[in-house]
Every structure is written in structure tokens, then in C-alpha cells.
Amino acid sequence: MPPERQLVTQLLQQWGSGNKAALDELMPIVYEQLRKLASKCLRAERPDHTLRATALVNEAYLRLVDADVAWEDRVHFFAVSARLLRRILIDHAKALKRDKRGGGAEKVELDEAVLVGPQATGGILELDEALQRLSAHDQRKGALVELLFFGGLTYDEAAAALEISPATVHRELTMAKAWLYRELSHGLS
């Protein structure tokens, strides 16, 4: 295991044992990776998304600090972080759909209001619903998509987290992508 990965695992375990100084040392090491994950998640969002990668990471940090988790290692940390980033994006999307926030009405500039035509809708809520259905159908495939897409884990790291082989990761991911494509395609028709 590379020294940085070992250091992250050691700091996580120290933090889990109550050493608050370990958290202060850990965050600068994992911050850039969390920011990359947040940026990756936001790339799949609409261009006018109000949440930025830094704000997403800061929100995740606040929730991670309060989390009561027995950290196993670096992979476990990023798996939990992936779920947390996904949850934050979903909560944000749901908040925007509430009536007091416009009930999901699309914001349109005055110049654009004269343009008429269907626009593809979709986003994190539809993906979340499809992932929930996938997880209900096959929990491992749902977890795999979450780890790879939201967690940014490599095939080998996801395989280790799920205790399966990298070949199984590839095979399961292929099936999960096809399943999600079908589910999301039917929602657009």
C-alpha cells in the first residue's frame, strides 16, 4: 500500500479512537480527493446548479465530523463519503423542488422566455430513484454504482470494499449501466 494511503488509514483509525488532532491532519490530505469527487458528481448536474464543489465538500466535512463511524481504512472512508455526497445532492435537489423554492419551476431568463421547445429534464432525483430501484433489485449493483460514480473509487478499491473480484466489478457494472439506462430511458418517454 502506498505511504499516503497507509497514512490516511492510520489517521482515520486514530480519529475513530478519539484523537481530534488526527482529524486536523487528515483533512488536508483527503480534501483534494473529496473535491475531485464533488466536482465529478456536479458535472452530471445541470449547468446552473447552485451548489459548487467547495460548498459540497464543506457540507460533507461538517457531516463527517459528526458521524459516529468506526473507520476501517481509506476505502471505507471514501465509500461513506460517496454516500454522503450523494445524499447532500439529493437533499439539495429536493429542497429546490419545494413550493417555497418555486416547486421545481424552471428558471428562465427573459430573453430565453421567447424560445419555445422541449428540453430534456433529468437529474440527480431521477438518478437517485433509479439507483434505489436498482438497489432493491440487486443491492450489490446499486452499491457498486454508488462507489464508482459518487465515490470515485477505482475498480480494485470497489472490489475490495464489496469483497468481490475486479472482473466481477466489470461484469456487474456493465449490467448495472444497462439496467439504469433502461430505467432512465423509460422515464423520458
In a domain, 111, yes or no: no
Q: What is the distance between the alpha carbons of residues 84 and 64, in angstroms, rounded to a whole number? A: 8
How confident is the model over 49-72, as pLDDT tens digits? 667 888 888 888 888 888 888 888
In a domain, 112, yes or no: no
- The parent domain of residue 28 ranges over 3-103+117-188
Average confidence score pLDDT of the chain:
79
How confident is the model over 132-163, as pLDDT tens digits? 999 999 999 999 988 888 777 888 988 988 99
Which candidate, 77, 81, 83, places its Cα nearest to that of 142? 83
How confident is the model over 96-106, as pLDDT tens digits? 776 554 555 45
In a domain, 60, yes or no: yes
Report the domain count for the chain. Answer: 1
In a domain, 18, yes or no: yes
